[in-house]
Chains A and B, each alone.
Chain A
Amino acid sequence: MLKTYSWPRYATRRAPEIGQAGVRRVPLVVVGAGPVGLSAAIDAALHGLPVVLLDDDDTVSVGSRGVCYAKRTLEILDRIGVGDACVTRGVSWNVGRTFFREDEVYHFNLLPQPDHKRPGMINLQQYYLEEFLVRRAGELPDLDLRFRNRVVSVSPAGSGATLQVETPDGAYALTAGWLIVADGARSAIRGMLNLDREGRVFLDRFLIADVVMKADFPAERWFWFDPPFHPGQSVLLHRQADNVYRIDFQLGWQADPEEEKKPEKVIPRIKAMLGADREFDLEWVSVYTFQCRRMQQFRHGRVLFAGDAAHQVSPFGARGANSGIQDSDNLCWKLRLVLDGKAPESLLDSYSGERVFAADENIMNSTRSTDFITPKSRTSLNFRNAVLTLARDHAFARALVNSGRLSVPSFLTGSRLNTPDSDAFAGDMVPGAAMDDAPMQEDGTDFWLLDRAGGRFMALVHVADPAAVDAGLARKFKTLASGPIPLEVALVAAKPGRAPEGLRVFVDGKGRFAERYDSAPGTVYLIRPDQHVAARWRVFDASRVNEALARATCNSH
């Protein structure tokens, strides 16, 4: 029992399929109501897809587990309706400090730029995120969330997969046209399908302790290499909601996990760190090891894997839950187009392609961090300590200090959904990039660009004066909205003005859009439903926009 949190017990209802003859067929089933499965089910329902979400438990995550939620994840959570709840409850932070022995050697700022809605990172216990997601799921009539519904077998067939499900009220079968598997690192479904993941297992153990204390530590990430209170190992400190602090001690491979979890072992470690006088309560303790592995592909016919079920990383960099939620963001709009018959099934191969690429980047970065934090040889340790020693005085060495490269979205530059640039652009908003945010106004009201993008395809067309837009061109823009795959055109302009045909005008009063997107009057950005850039040009050309839209949905011939 935690002192700061009591777990909700969610009601279970008798599944209507129990005792019925025949097997009911539904378009979409998601297995696993963790952060990834819940996000996927909510996003699918928001896209208008009826979805059944099955979970074998009736509560949220035990223990705080995933703690850091990155800016890009918050933007996705905003789109699916839980961003505010998370940011209000969580602890926002941007600064991380790294210490070597007694001294600070390096600090970083995740978000040195002004004018973004969300901070670089929030810390929030995973159970809060899940609770907010469950609440959001309950608001959506298309989402049928079933607790204590355990999938005991899965039989894929050409046009779906049939599940056997056990519940406290009896068993039933259900055929899913499509199945999203988000049942975590030890995925039972992956096992039932005899699919494996490849990669590395790391021989090290870490102790996580969540403690409650009134403390004056700032809302920053503090990381120690070889501190006096835990010599030879690393320690990480994070502040979470409710005055709960996460402390992560490296223990080494030889440590006995059961022994290390005992309060009489844990409390002296924490006292050595915090000082004998500081009062604290031990909230939750766990000892973990980790692996960096992924499945070869995330799509197996009608079965789609997401989150830890598909790929696992070391915890350094908070790239687990964050990347899983980005999987869901990438997947749901594609699934909707395929289910609506507006895109071929091969669009879902691009889910696998894009998210395998992202998983490899996450695995690479978290492996590099692990190798720096826990050197595996005398030579590695020498290099590591040389970097930390030089870092006090020299900027080049500070750039090499790797205490975790925190979760940032991948630039999906190699995706076949992108239309390569034919015009010259500066900056990072290349085809395949997740959009940068920018403050804007519409009809005199301030808003954030990312709050009005996403969920559908959009073209952002930069004009000098919205009122001067030719009526014929405005009608062309409107035509795009009534195509088989609707494309909404919004004008972006430095100054307000009434555009013909009732076109929306986003006013870039601060010029951040122009700056971040290297945009000028004439520039057009084609944006995917997951807020990624699909294509961009210096001049609007309806046929090129249509070609790029076809390419982004695998409809090109």
Chain B
Amino acid sequence: MPLILTPNFNEPGKRYFRAFSPGDDFYEALIETHRDLSDVQSALVNAKLVLLLSNHIGDIGVLREAMKIAREGV
């Protein structure tokens, strides 16, 4: 399966009436994860997140595609 680049957030059992809600739920949780952390601590949390999510995705082809896009223009 190729890397999904269309909106894909959802939470099982939750009914959404507005298209922006699932993405905003995710983004709030992401920012909340970093609350009160120093920049160094946040960088470590982000690194751990990438590793955890990468293992969950598993498909290294998909991960290579994401890594390529993430590096573009940086």
Contacts and interface: CB of A to CB of B under 8 A. Distances in A.
Nearest to B32: A371
B27 A408 contact: no
Contacts of B19: 399
B34 interface: yes
A402 interface: yes
A424 interface: no
Interface residues of A, number: 24
Contacts of A400: 23-24, 26-27
Interface in A185-243: none
| Secondary structure type dominating chain A contacts | helix
A179 to B, nearest CB: 34
Contacts of B1: none
Contacts of B31: 371, 380, 383
Interface in A401-425: 402, 405, 408, 411, 413
Contact of A379 (B15, B27, B28, B37): B37
Task: Sort chain B's interface into a size bin.
Answer: 20 to 34
A407 to B, nearest CB: 11
Contact of B6 (A389, A396, A405, A411): A396
A362 interface: no
Nearest to A378: B39
Interface string B1-22: 0001111100000010111100
Interface in B19-72: 19-20, 23-24, 26-28, 30-31, 34, 37, 39, 42-43, 46, 69
A428 interface: yes
Contact of A396 (B5, B30, B42): B5
29 contacts: A368-B24, A368-B27, A368-B28, A371-B28, A371-B31, A377-B34, A377-B37, A377-B42, A378-B39, A378-B42, A379-B34, A379-B42, A379-B46, A380-B34, A383-B27, A387-B27, A394-B69, A395-B6, A396-B5, A396-B6, A396-B8, A399-B7, A399-B23, A402-B20, A402-B24, A405-B20, A405-B24, A411-B17, A413-B15
